[in-house]
A and B are shown apart, each in its own frame.
Chain A
């Protein structure tokens, strides 16, 4: 009896927490860019580097290896070279700048960059119906990728 109550309470608490996390999530249109990049976490929930590595690699999510080489993933073949290699990227950029690059790199580089905005609705024409109004990654996936990028430090 006691155990069941504890369990129920635990689930209720977890639901409340996740609701809280959702409500503090910043919508793509509301993201604030400063000179330093994006200083605030998009979710308030710390990113998980293990999840971030999965998102980074997944060809339907970040698909980052398509364009960027990453020695940390040397066991995966054929890294692209459209963008710079990401080895030691965390020494080269602070987290707020990295966040801005992942969210919408056009705000940091130029409009000419070919890097997609992973948490942006400022996208190309004729977006396929199933992607209309949707970002490539969720806010938490962006935070997870950032946590992973933070580990790429020599």
Chain B
């Protein structure tokens, strides 16, 4: 009886999916300023998908076009703000990022593709946002940026943008990265909240389907910080928290151990995809 019911449900679901013209990711290629982006990559070993797909492939044509053109991409405005911050002196040491790191186009190339990485000092993974804060407090004599404020997202986006097109490849062999990856994986599959949903409920089991007008992607993070048409410039931890809130669960704090583990794991799930920062999403 139960099996029959499930078969019926699967059949009905299949019929519904077939009636949508956009139910699958599109067959399209992305080039930004002449640079080809890898939006489909062979999945790393241990992934439940054969292929990892950029969220770009799940978006409508107009949204995809916005990302193709850096003049049209609204996310480039905060990236340019980040460029100004790069050379802005702040703190008691009288330094800017550029004082030590020079031309970001050279010194920051690859950073966006390889973070989070192991930080022996804190004995934890560190992401770009926290690395900026580490530089600010330890080298510049400046205050750490509070979450989502003070230019944190602009500077993070500017730094990640220097890796535009490079494939994501984080190093899990460093330090304890592997155990943080494990914790992140555990969280990815843990159902939370009154709605009892895990990341995997939407982004693995139902990628390609629609929740109302939202086309569920694989939930890749290779384009963060992203420009969201409905809510503006958005950081990764803000997005994580929003998703978790939507399950009607308490939100973990930004940069908490839980969300750093999740960032480590989810970044790995996008191995091989190009950094698209600042990506454009609905």
B249 CB to nearest A CB, Å: 5
B191 contacts A127, C-beta separation under 8 Å:
no
Interface residues on chain B, number (Cβ under 8 Å): 38
The complex places the Cα of A109 from the Cα of B205 at a distance, in Å, of 15
B210 contacts A80, C-beta separation under 8 Å:
yes
Kindly state whether residue B213 has any CB partner on chain A within 8 Å. Answer: yes
Kindly report which residue of chain A lies nearest to residue B8, judged by CB atoms: A92
A35 contacts B197, C-beta separation under 8 Å:
no
Across-interface contacts of A49 in B (CB, < 8 A)? none
Which one, B14-22, B34-42, B45-53, B107-115, is touching chain A?
B14-22
The complex places the Cα of A112 from the Cα of B205 at a distance, in Å, of 9
The complex places the Cα of A117 from the Cα of B196 at a distance, in Å, of 8
B193 contacts A124, C-beta separation under 8 Å:
yes
Across-interface contacts of A69 in B (CB, < 8 A)? 16, 19
B193 contacts A66, C-beta separation under 8 Å:
no
Cβ contacts A to B, 28 pairs, < 8 Å: A66-B211, A69-B16, A79-B212, A80-B209, A81-B13, A81-B19, A81-B20, A84-B9, A84-B12, A84-B13, A97-B5, A109-B2, A110-B6, A114-B201, A116-B194, A123-B193, A124-B190, A124-B192, A124-B195, A124-B247, A124-B249, A125-B249, A126-B193, A126-B250, A127-B193, A128-B250, A131-B248, A136-B194
Across-interface contacts of B132 in A (CB, < 8 A)? none
Q: Given A123-B196, A128-B194, check contact A114 B16 (CB 8 Å).
A: no
Q: Given A114-B201, A124-B191, check contact A108 B16 (CB 8 Å).
A: no
**Interface on B for A, CB 8 Å cutoff?**
1-2, 5-6, 8-9, 12-13, 15-17, 19-20, 23, 190-198, 201-202, 205-206, 209-213, 216, 245, 247-250
Q: Which of B16, B23, B216, B248 contacts A127 (CB 8 A)?
A: B248
The complex places the Cα of A47 from the Cα of B12 at a distance, in Å, of 26
Apart from A109-B2, A128-B250, A129-B250, 7 more pairs, CB < 8 Å: A79-B210, A108-B5, A116-B197, A126-B193, A126-B250, A128-B194, A128-B248
Interface residues on chain A, number (Cβ under 8 Å): 33
Kindly state whether residue A75 has any CB partner on chain B within 8 Å. Answer: no
The complex places the Cα of A117 from the Cα of B193 at a distance, in Å, of 11
Across-interface contacts of B2 in A (CB, < 8 A)? 108-109
A77 contacts B213, C-beta separation under 8 Å:
yes
Across-interface contacts of A123 in B (CB, < 8 A)? 193-196
A85 contacts B193, C-beta separation under 8 Å:
no
Q: Which of A79, A109, A124 contacts B5 (CB 8 A)?
A: A109
Across-interface contacts of A114 in B (CB, < 8 A)? 197, 201-202, 205-206
A131 contacts B20, C-beta separation under 8 Å:
no
A125 contacts B191, C-beta separation under 8 Å:
yes
The complex places the Cα of A127 from the Cα of B250 at a distance, in Å, of 6
B176 CB to nearest A CB, Å: 24
Mask of A55-88 contacts with B, CB within 8 angstroms, 1/0: 0000000000111010000000111111111000
A124 contacts B210, C-beta separation under 8 Å:
no
